[in-house]
Structure 1
Amino acid sequence: MARSTADGQPAAVLFDRDGTLVEDVPYNGDPDLVRPVAGAAEVLTELRALGVRTGVVSNQSGVAAGLLTLNQVHQVNARVEELLGPFDTWQVCPHGRDEGCGCRKPAPGLVRAACAALRVDPADTWLIGDIESDVRAARAAGARAVLVPTPVTDPAEVARAPLTAPDLRAALGLVLGRVVC
């Protein structure tokens, strides 16, 4: 398993998709609606240049609800990669909220699966997301997390988050142990 480097750089950084890497379009099955959030491309370019593995962990309950197909999810994910570059792993939970699966965030399954696919220790992994279920999934898997709230993030979730950043660039600074101004 890959470990953090001697300089404290993480082995991997995982991202939530909707609201974190790309603008949140509920139950998006249309690749033409994909719009990266500010700073996403630059953050990913820097991580890749440092040799940090990257992945996406995404709940897609619209599949279970019949609002979109798994093929549409894959098409949207492909568009994300066209705009932001390749990720080392994609982990998607297509289950509904009440199905009781172990992969749907806040359960740790997606994070654990991503770490297994990347052959990294969760303790050397960070997850950046926009809601509390991202933070809870990371912590349940033994990874660290940064919450990057959006205007729709519940303020109580922000208050409970152990680590927050105003944007992806600041989150990257926290992940890499840099002073964030």
Structure 2
Amino acid sequence: MKLIVLDRDGVINEDSDAFVKSAEEWIPIPGSIEAIAYLSKAGWKVAVATNQSGLARGLFDMTDLTDMHLKMQQLVMEQGGQIDLIVHCPHGPQDGCNCRKPLPGMFRTIAEHFRLPDLKGVPAVGDSHRDLHAGLVLGGKPYLVKTGKGQRTLQNILPPGTQVFDDLASVVDHLLKADG
């Protein structure tokens, strides 16, 4: 099975230091929706793993988050693709959970969902260190995009083996070329 794990904010949609709080504020990065659809149509399973501490902070509620994810899924479906799984961490940084990236809880949930013992070799695409490190715990391959917080992340030492791309569309082009 070909599987990819994507961060959401800064990878699929525009990020905001003030948080993305509604479907109206959820704006796709150019090319990201089409890229997900291309992967899906090429036989890849697409999972999204996203920290959503805005829930714990009271900035939005589950209805708002569901609306954002429905919008994302609808846009991908309109391009002929699908997102197979979305997992989120609703906790704040101080809540002591195991799911908030860089901890591996969401990645374990993804592996279990797809009945995999680990995520060895699975591309984990993110724009921050926490995304890259969370994917590495279960053997994923880190891919950094320069969108979102990616330019800031580039200013620090990256995990070994991290591949850097301009955006999600560039990652997908690379993966599909590697597929042959």
TM band (smaller chain): 0.7 to 0.9
**C-alpha separation in 1, matches of 2:86 and 2:97:** 18
1:116 paired with 2:107, answer no
Q: Offset of 1:151 from its aligned partner? A: 6.0
Q: Which residue of 2 aligns with 1:149?
A: 146
Q: Which residue of 1 aligns with 2:9?
A: 18
Q: Offset of 1:90 from its aligned partner? A: 0.7
**C-alpha separation in 2, matches of 1:151 and 1:27:** 12
1:134 paired with 2:134, answer no
**C-alpha separation in 2, matches of 1:47 and 1:110:** 21
1:70 to 45, 62, 65: 62
How many residues matched?
169
Identity over aligned pairs, percent: 28
Shifted more, 170-179 versus 139-148: the winner is: 170-179
5+ residue gaps, structure 2, are: none
**C-alpha separation in 1, matches of 2:148 and 2:121:** 29
TM-score, structure 1 as length reference: 0.84
Q: Which residue of 2 aligns with 1:106?
A: 102
CA deviations on 1:1-47 (whole Å, 9 max, x unpaired) are xx4xxxxxxx2111111110011134323112222112212211221
**C-alpha separation in 1, matches of 2:57 and 2:148:** 25
**C-alpha separation in 1, matches of 2:31 and 2:46:** 15
Q: Offset of 1:92 from its aligned partner? A: 0.3
Seen in structure 2, the aligned counterparts of structure 1 residues 177 and 103 have a Cα distance that, compared at 3 Å, is farther
Seen in structure 2, the aligned counterparts of structure 1 residues 83 and 151 have a Cα distance that, compared at 3 Å, is closer
Q: Offset of 1:89 from its aligned partner? A: 0.6
1:94 to 86, 90, 94: 90
CA contact (8 A) 2:10 2:148 kept: no
